[in-house]
């Protein structure tokens, strides 16, 4: 039977003035709305106990399996307010399907696509006051997640699992907004290897990226670029985003999602809209040497990071241990900005939705 996530109203929701203050300068992931969706899965009986109720802390037992073995997966998507006040999701079924794939890889139960969509719609509807207007690229970021909620130290898949959706009003992920971000290229640390969890959106991938991300910050960079774990020869992705390079002839290059990188929904959307912007796209392995030589010779003129949080953020420079920084010649390049604007126009209802990607919530 499908889950309904019936709404249990918060007894003392945030005052309008408090919401207004937070929406004026939301940052990223700092504030949370009044409600959250919840459901629990039990081995044998499946999903149930679904509701959208007041945002409340979990009581996690010290023996809770997720604290020890990181059996956890999550998603990230946004609700956008259009100029007429309506609120829309962008390709939420893609997040639902990816959560299923992530859950399968982590030995967690799968949540049917329809239930995922109901949970997300339920939170957005209950907390629609928290959806900022679209100015300054603001939106309501939704974070569905699932974790092992069994108090047991044996190493096996949990027999009790929690699913939840929380929501956070956000502005741009990078505090500098659309200003080019610098990238630290690591050939020391790896994010994922063949047969590992790279293609799953699981917390462990992010935990293992943090030491490299710290190194990036120490070198003045906003994100880290990982190369393949086996040879450190091929570009993979950033700690929390996919990557595209743009050649002088206006061709987009991005590595294939061959099991070690996240199959980004933004990445997929960019590959779909590229032809309408007159941009060719090549999905193929891209060597680190090709990046270094290409930027140095001027063959690669632009690069950008993309993801739900980052949207499309231009890359300014690549830094590597013991090497001079590589400057992209186009810092907010024509192709990067055309893609960014087209994507935002679809998401905020300013442009036509030729692909049926927008879903109205309220």
Q: Name the phi and psi angles at 292, rounded to 5.
A: -65, -50
- In the bound state with ligand PLP, the residue whose beta carbon lies nearer, of 208 and 308, is 308
- Does 109 bind ligand PLP (CB under 6 A)? Our answer is no
Q: Which does 26 bind (CB under 5 to 8 A by kind): ligand PLP, ligand COI, none?
A: none
Helices (H) and strands (E) in the chain, counts: 8, 17
Q: Which of 54, 77, 222, 84 lies closest to 139 in space, CA to CA?
A: 77
**Contact at 8 Å (CB) between 336 and 200?**
no
Q: Which does 66 bind (CB under 5 to 8 A by kind): ligand COI, ligand PLP, none?
A: none
Give whole-number Cα distances, 155 to 31, 106, 148, 265, in Å.
35, 13, 11, 32
Which stretch, 154-162, 240-248, 275-283, 295-303, contacts ligand PLP (CB under 6 A)? 240-248
Near ligand PLP by CB under 6 A: residue from 52, 190, 242, 254: 242
- Does 308 bind ligand COI (CB under 6 A)? Our answer is yes
- Does 265 bind ligand PLP (CB under 6 A)? Our answer is yes
- Which residue number places its CB atom closest to ligand COI? 76
What sign results for the dihedral spanned by CA atoms 11, 92, 75, 275?
Answer: negative
Write each residue from 59 to 98 as x if it is in contact with ligand COI (CB under 6 A), else as -, in one continuous string: -----------------x----------------------
Near ligand PLP by CB under 6 A: residue from 180, 307, 314, 349: 307
- Does 309 bind ligand COI (CB under 6 A)? Our answer is yes
- Does 169 bind ligand COI (CB under 6 A)? Our answer is no
Both structure tokens of 104: 């399968």
Q: Which residues, including other chains, have CB under 8 Å from residue 210's CB and lie 6 or more apart?
A: none
**Contact at 8 Å (CB) between 252 and 280?**
yes
- For the chain, the residue count is 362
- In the bound state with ligand COI, the residue whose beta carbon lies nearer, of 309 and 343, is 309
Binding stretches for ligand COI (CB under 6 A):
76, 240, 307-309
């Amino acid at each position: 039977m499908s889950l309904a996530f019936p709404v249990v109203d918060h007894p003392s929701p945030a005052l309008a003035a408090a919401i207004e203050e937070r929406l004026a300068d939301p940052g990223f992931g700092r504030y949370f709305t009044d409600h959250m969706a919840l459901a629990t899965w039990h081995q044998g009986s499946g999903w149930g106990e679904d509701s959208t109720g007041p945002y409340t802390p979990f009581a996690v037992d010290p023996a809770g399996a997720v604290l020890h073995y990181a059996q956890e997966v999550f998603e990230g998507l946004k609700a956008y307010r259009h100029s007429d006040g309506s609120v829309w999701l962008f390709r939420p079924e893609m997040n639902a399907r990816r959560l299923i794939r992530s859950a399968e890889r982590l030995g967690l139960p799968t949540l049917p696509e329809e239930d995922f969509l109901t949970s997300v719609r339920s939170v957005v509807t209950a907390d629609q006051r928290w959806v900022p207007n679209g100015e300054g690229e603001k939106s309501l970021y939704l974070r569905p997640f699932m974790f092992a909620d069994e108090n047991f130290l044996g190493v096996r898949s949990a027999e009790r699992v929690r699913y939840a959706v929380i929501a956070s009003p956000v502005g741009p992920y990078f505090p500098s907004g659309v200003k080019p971000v610098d990238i630290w290229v690591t050939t020391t640390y790896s994010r994922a290897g063949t047969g590992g969890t790279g293609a799953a959106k699981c917390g462990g991938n992010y935990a293992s990226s943090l030491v490299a991300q710290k190194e990036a910050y120490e070198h003045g960079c906003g994100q880290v670029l990982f190369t393949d774990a086996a040879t450190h020869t091929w570009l993979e992705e950033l700690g929390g985003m996919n990557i595209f390079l743009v050649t002088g002839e206006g061709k987009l290059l991005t590595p294939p999602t061959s099991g070690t990188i996240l199959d980004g929904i933004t990445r997929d959307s960019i590959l779909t809209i590229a032809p309408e912007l007159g941009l060719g796209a090549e999905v193929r392995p891209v060597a680190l040497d090709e990046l270094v030589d290409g930027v140095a010779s001027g063959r690669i003129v632009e690069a950008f990071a993309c993801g739900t949080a980052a949207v499309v953020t231009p890359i300014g420079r690549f830094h590597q241990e013991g090497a001079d920084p590589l400057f992209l010649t186009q810092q907010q390049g024509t192709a990067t900005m055309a893609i960014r604007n087209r994507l935002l126009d679809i998401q905020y209802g300013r442009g036509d939705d030729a692909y049926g990607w927008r879903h109205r919530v309220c």
